[in-house]
A and B are shown apart, each in its own frame.
Chain A
Amino acid sequence: DQQVKQNSPSLSVQEGRISILNCDYTNSMFDYFLWYKKYPAEGPTFLISISSIKDKNEDGRFTVFLNKSAKHLSLHIVPSQPGDSAVYFCAASGKDRTTSGTYKYIFGTGTRLKVLA
């Protein structure tokens, strides 16, 4: 049962245009959401996050939108640059109720973004 889904395995965008990456989740107990960027054979790098009490968070060229009723989040990159080409993972987190409060992080399968010069 995949609790976090990224239905688009790949996305190509022209340099300077907007990149929109999507993510859906099923567990309504998730209350913190994150986006990571990853290059091959390296650890993921944190990009931006959003708490469930917000519906938007911006950091420079990156904006994350959260639609709780649809259980959907998206990452917008504007403008897209060739250096943004990587695999992007969304992750959802919530407190593990079987322990005394550790956050458990579930990741999607990733979307490979290619920004064309």
Chain B
Amino acid sequence: DGGITQSPKYLFRKEGQNVTLSCEQNLNHDAMYWYRQDPGQGLRLIYYSQIVNDFQKGDIAEGYSVSREKKESFPLTVTSAQKNPTAFYLCASSIRVVAGPLDFGAGTRLSVL
């Protein structure tokens, strides 16, 4: 079954700690995306990547970092510089070169202890 797997489903961060959210896809999609959802604010783009070893900042990249070492994987690190990390994080992927729908994972809920 093709799809996007996000883990963990729930994650807790202590003050000053970096945490990493995992995103893996087996859809053979080139492009991958990270979004953040806050109540009443919709989905805001954090980072996106079109190919391995290449990624671009979205609208709210400050305090986050990503890597794209494999086509299937696009982990997101929430650093201690992100002062308000509590949110629902969504990973998505799409075929890069033609317009098509984004496929989403089930999300990770990050909370601060």
- Interface residues, chain A, CB within 8 Å of chain B? 6, 9, 31-32, 34, 36, 41-46, 49, 51, 89, 91, 93, 96, 98-110
Contact = CB atoms under 8 A, between A and B. Distances in A.
Contacts of B35: 107
Interface of B: 4, 6, 31, 33, 35, 40-45, 48-50, 54, 56, 58, 88, 90, 92, 94, 96-97, 99-107, 109
Given A108-B42, A110-B42, A32 B99 contact: yes
A89 B42 contact: yes
Given A89-B42, A100-B50, A103-B31, 18 more contacts: A34-B102, A41-B88, A42-B106, A42-B107, A43-B105, A44-B102, A46-B101, A46-B103, A98-B56, A99-B50, A99-B56, A102-B31, A103-B96, A103-B99, A105-B94, A107-B35, A107-B42, A109-B40
The 7 closest A-B pairs by CB, nearest first: A43-B104, A102-B50, A32-B99, A109-B42, A107-B43, A46-B101, A107-B42
Contacts of A43: 4, 6, 90, 92, 104-107
B31 A9 contact: no
Contacts of A49: 99, 101
Given A41-B109, A102-B31, A108-B42, A96 B56 contact: yes
B99 A93 contact: yes
Contacts of B33: 105
A100 B58 CA distance: 16
Contact of B96 (A36, A102, A110): A102
Nearest to A94: B99
24 contacts: A31-B99, A34-B101, A34-B102, A36-B104, A41-B109, A43-B4, A43-B104, A43-B105, A43-B107, A49-B99, A51-B99, A91-B43, A93-B99, A99-B50, A102-B31, A102-B48, A102-B49, A103-B96, A104-B45, A105-B102, A107-B42, A108-B42, A109-B40, A109-B42
Contacts of A34: 101-102
A43 B9 CA distance: 11
Contact of B97 (A42, A45, A98, A101): A101
